[in-house]
Chains A and B, each alone.
Chain A
Amino acid sequence: MRPFSYAAPTTIEQAVSLLEVEGSEVLAGGTDLLSLLKDDVERVERLVSLRGVEGLSDIDVSGGRLRIGAMTTLQDLRDHAGATEAVPALVTAIDGVASAQLRSMGTVGGDLLQRPRCWYYRRGYGLLALGRDGRSMVTDGDNRYHAIFPEGQARFVSPSSLAPLLVALGAEATVRGPDGERQVPVEALYRAPQGEGERENTLGRGELLVEITAAVGGVRSAVYEVRQRRSLDWPLMAAAVSLTGEAPRVDQARIVLGHAAPIPYVAVAAGEVAAGGELTPARIEEAAEKAASDARPMSGNRYKVQLARTATRRALGLAAGMEA
């Protein structure tokens, strides 16, 4: 393992100033970053542990808003009655992180900003996995678990368990940095990198995700994950939906797919189909078709298009209180 220094700040301000130095990385739950370092996939000069920083792991539900500190462990969030009562779909999303160890050590911020699982990236071929000739190893190689909505050269999938749901809820992220605090939609934390120097998130140097907030009143939400194994496994496809309006009426619908694109994929047109009336089975079917209509699958992941449709249909059904 390459040597690195380790810093354990106790305040957000200290953490931010430590992170401003190039080569610094946040260490949250450490469930993945340490493996990336051991495998020499990522290199850091300094790890900045957030474990000792005060005030990053609070959960609060009040005034129709849910606030979750970025260092909250997934298990603590799962066990928080107020949070899971406000957003029952959190339970499905967190239970999808299929090991007690990962739930107990992994954090909300870490889940949102975890690195992709692409097997080319994980074997040291880079996030975009471009061969020496500039050709995509993913398109020429085995892409059964890759994106059906690739963006430019980015063909990995966003693996976060919570992001689709939080994006569907229109949650906001509080980011602290050298220039102070900013609020951005969770959706805006993500981007599809187009060069090997770029990350799949939009945080600038020295910036730190500190909190997630979401309006949770009057929203029905659901998550459906297609997974091959019941035991420890990544979903092959995930869909999260949020619906507003007096049931069975749906005023607005947001549909977000996970494991489908390099970012949480917002199926805008599908949401429009689902909104503005009663959510009938026929309308659900139409929205599900729409969710996958822009898919551009590769040689080995055509099946995921159908999974996207199915996950959307079932998530909508769950949110609308129908049989999945």
Chain B
Amino acid sequence: MADYSWPEADRRGQIGHRPARLDGPVKSTGFARYPSDQNPPGLLAAKILTCPHAHARILGMDTSAAEALPGVRVVHVIQGEGSEIQWAGDEVAAVAAETEDIARDAVRAIRVEYEVLPHFVTEEHRDRAPAAQPGSERTDGDPDAAFASAHRIVEQTLGMPQMAHMCLEPHGQVAGWDGDELEVHASTQAVSTLGGQFASELGIPATQVRIRTEYMGGGFGSKFSPDRWGIVGAELARKAGAPVKLFLDRDQEVAVAGSRPSAFARIRVGADEQGKLVAWDSDSWGSGGLPGTGQTPLPYVFSRLPNRRLRHTSVPTNLAGSRAWRAPNHPQACFLTMACLDDLANELDLDPIDFLDRNLDLTGRADVYREELGIAAEMAGWKERWQPRKRSRERALQRGMGVSIHTWGGRGHSSNCDVTVHPDGAVEVRIGSQDIGTGTRTVVAQVLAETFGLELHQVHVSMGDNRFPQSGPSGGSSTVGGVSASTRRAAQDALREVLARVAPRLEAEPEELKAAGGRVYVEGEPSRGMSWPEAAAQIGGAPVSARGRNPGPGRLISSGVGGVQIAEVEVDMDTGVVRVERMIAVQDCGLIINRRLAESQVYGGLIMGVGYALFEEWIPDPVTGRLLNADMEFYKLAGLVDVGSLEVHMMTGPAYDGRGVIGLGEPPVISPGAAISNAVANAIGVRVPYLPLTPDRVLDALAGGGEAA
């Protein structure tokens, strides 16, 4: 069997370097055409009518006024008379019209009569939930005995609310029919699987659906399926006989197109005199809207903590169902765990880094965390600058530092691709996966260029089309491992075929040949060679093509990473306003293909992390059950001036590189909530038990001494 591997560190022409994102110029100049930029001839605009009530039954619907509006082409009832609506914002009807304004007017002209039913949207009050679903208790070891003999115990109720994905390009698509063939320009994370889902919903063969996603404006885990608006868009287009653009309005995007489940917990955790964790007890609950939500992985990272008892209650609410949000369940589990451990370190009069260090044998990768903690502490000046918690009012502005650690898998997904070498030397890969903004296109190009010894501009990447070989969705940090491995295998195979044709001309064996620097030559004898175009010409008239697959032979990828983050904050004791001054992230992700883009992933994770630590939350109204901040006014995203100084250190060197490629999308977003909360506790001397750390919550904690409000 052929050997598949990454080049040694001293022989990497592309891998590990810092080339800029290939599509940076077209994106930053506005030339990149996103799905929402597609405007085929005859395009109609569609809008959706949503239910304003959190729980209601539709008693009747009259669409006649909408149908009578000039310019309206199709009125489509999604949920008609008798339907029970379970969340505000659920789709009721849709209209396709000649302009977006007409569609909006038409939607407004539809009369719906509702019977309003009781709703429940405030899951933090689990005792008031009408349909809470307590799970069974899980016990390992003897937590009661362990707590009884523990040296210090902290008990704390903590929580974080549901929040939105807030994709800047809302969910949606442009769908058009050519006869009975459907073409969809979708803003999706799952090009290869979307077509089949459209087909089965629409009752047509999968072969008749074409999905294309050249660029897309953010998914974060919320864009894996056609969704109801996708199917409705295709139905409208079919009925209208014209392509239809249907993208959600911002209020819909916030309310129904993606949220992260909430997590609350009453936690007890105990340590012995040496500062070793000995017991854990958590009673957690949370909601992901109507489906409720499952247990987060507690205790987080310290999964070998002995003597533990876990209970969890799923709390369904009248809110749209949650979706995978970057590192599903991890940010919640990380905050709940690391905040308690930070409080326990404080009880033990231990530096939290020292405390974590004493317990690293309870994690799966003590060596990685230990090394990363050392680097992060060094970057932060922790030893010189960290002070134990105090409660001082001497100055209005108090500074604090906090630390957190996190983990993620990130194994490459199933991926196929075709690499083709043309006789003129052109090299292309076709791969079904999409670039959701992480830089996948650039990374794939680097793997191709590395393998053939070419420059980035000499290779071509075609992706984001379901006619290309099936390659996985972008989720779980699985893309870079999948596409880099399949591309590497295909490229190595295609190159071997080229080398086999070239070898006789150079009077060498194929194994002796090397492709580098735009040439093919005998290893160690650069003069015995030819340029890449000359080499490619040896293949004759027909291109050489090879299919690459992942999983496959050779150690190209693996999984399992650790990361450490340190936050430094400044808190205004008189207003409760928290500023993040500095975030330090030390992250492992195996072999890094593009250092710049890897760092960008971490910067992005930190920025999102500051957002959910300080600002972002769904605010459901107890009175109406609607979200009160389904907008960009009171759903507050972090602006660049709000995120402070971000410093990133990527772990490299043989111990990391040798593991192969591992995904990076999720890990850096896990720790910020915990690290920032810990920094605030360090600054003000008391735990603010809830995220986001808004002024009201900070002032409440200061006024109440730290107990949950």
Contacts and interface: CB of A to CB of B under 8 A. Distances in A.
Physical interaction between A and B: yes
Interface of A: 1-2, 38, 40, 117, 119-120, 123, 125, 131, 137, 140-142, 144-145, 226-234, 236, 300-303, 306-307, 310, 313
Contacts of A131: 623
B695 A40 contact: no
B622 A141 contact: yes
Nearest to B578: A228
B700 A303 contact: yes
A230 B699 contact: no
Contact of B629 (A2, A119, A141, A231): A119
B634 A145 contact: yes
B639 A306 contact: no
A144 B620 CA distance: 12
Contact of A142 (B622, B633, B642): B622
Interface in B614-629: 614-615, 619, 621-624, 626, 628-629
A2 B101 CA distance: 10
B615 A228 contact: yes
Given A117-B633, A119-B628, A142-B622, A228 B700 contact: no
Given A228-B615, A229-B639, 20 more contacts: A2-B105, A38-B104, A119-B628, A123-B624, A125-B624, A137-B621, A141-B622, A141-B624, A141-B628, A142-B619, A144-B696, A227-B577, A229-B638, A231-B638, A231-B642, A301-B696, A303-B695, A303-B700, A306-B574, A306-B699
Given A1-B105, A303-B696, A140 B636 contact: no
Contacts of A234: 633
Given A40-B108, A306-B699, A307-B575, A142 B639 contact: no
B363 interface: no
Contacts of B700: 303
Given A123-B628, A303-B700, A306-B574, A229 B615 contact: yes
Interface of B: 101, 104-105, 108, 574-577, 579, 614-615, 619, 621-624, 626, 628-629, 633-634, 636, 638-642, 694-696, 699-700
Nearest to A1: B101
Nearest to B577: A228
Contact of A307 (B105, B633, B636, B695): B695
A301 B105 CA distance: 37
Given A40-B108, A140-B623, A307-B575, A228 B636 contact: yes
B349 to A, nearest CB: 31
B48 to A, nearest CB: 15
A141 B623 CA distance: 5
A98 to B, nearest CB: 9
A145 B695 CA distance: 11
Contacts of B629: 119
Task: Pick the most buried of B101, B621, B641, B700: most chain A CB atoms within 10 A of its CB.
Answer: B621
15 contacts: A1-B101, A119-B628, A123-B626, A137-B621, A137-B623, A141-B621, A226-B575, A227-B577, A229-B638, A231-B639, A236-B575, A236-B695, A302-B696, A303-B576, A306-B575
Nearest to A300: B696
Contacts, number: 79
Nearest to B698: A303
B66 to A, nearest CB: 14
Contacts of A125: 624
Task: Pick the most buried of A2, A38, A231, A313: most chain B CB atoms within 10 A of its CB.
Answer: A231
Contact of A229 (B101, B575, B636): B636
A236 B615 CA distance: 13
A119 B636 CA distance: 14
A231 B641 contact: yes
A227 B579 CA distance: 11
A145 B575 CA distance: 14
Contact of B699 (A1, A2, A303): A303
Contacts of B577: 226-228
Contacts of A301: 696
A10 B626 CA distance: 44
A228 B621 CA distance: 21
Contacts of B105: 1-2
B87 to A, nearest CB: 15
Contacts of B623: 131, 137, 140-141
A91 B696 CA distance: 27
B423 to A, nearest CB: 54
A152 B101 CA distance: 38
A142 B628 contact: yes
A131 B574 CA distance: 35
Contacts of B621: 137, 141-142
A230 B639 contact: yes
A233 B637 CA distance: 10
A83 B626 CA distance: 44
Given A142-B619, A228-B615, A137 B639 contact: no
A123 B619 CA distance: 14
A142 B700 CA distance: 16
Contacts of A137: 621, 623-624
Nearest to A119: B628
Query: Across chains A and B, which 3 residue pairs bring their CB atoms closest together, nearest first?
Result: A231-B639, A303-B696, A141-B623
A137 B625 CA distance: 12
Nearest to B621: A141
Contacts of A38: 104
B162 to A, nearest CB: 14
A226 B695 contact: yes
Contacts of B615: 228-229
A8 B633 CA distance: 31
Contacts of B634: 119, 145
Given A123-B626, A144-B696, A233 B636 contact: yes
Contacts of A2: 105
A307 B636 CA distance: 19
Contacts of B642: 229-231
Contacts of B576: 303, 306
A300 B697 CA distance: 10
Contacts of A303: 576, 695-696, 699-700
Nearest to A124: B52
A203 B642 CA distance: 39
Contacts of B699: 303, 306
A117 B628 CA distance: 11
B575 A310 contact: yes
A189 to B, nearest CB: 24
A131 B116 CA distance: 14
Contact of B695 (A1, A123, A228, A313): A228
A83 B40 CA distance: 52
A145 B636 CA distance: 13
A148 to B, nearest CB: 12
Contacts of A233: 636
Nearest to A132: B116
Nearest to A136: B623
Contacts of B101: 1
Task: Pick the most buried of A38, A40, A306: most chain B CB atoms within 10 A of its CB.
Answer: A306
Nearest to A137: B623
Contacts of A145: 634
A306 B105 CA distance: 45
A321 B593 CA distance: 56
A157 to B, nearest CB: 13
A73 B233 CA distance: 42
A40 B101 CA distance: 13
Nearest to B641: A230
A38 B634 CA distance: 19
A82 B626 CA distance: 48
A233 B632 CA distance: 10
A230 B577 CA distance: 11
A303 B105 CA distance: 41
Nearest to A38: B104
Task: Pick the most buried of A38, A142, A226, A227: most chain B CB atoms within 10 A of its CB.
Answer: A142
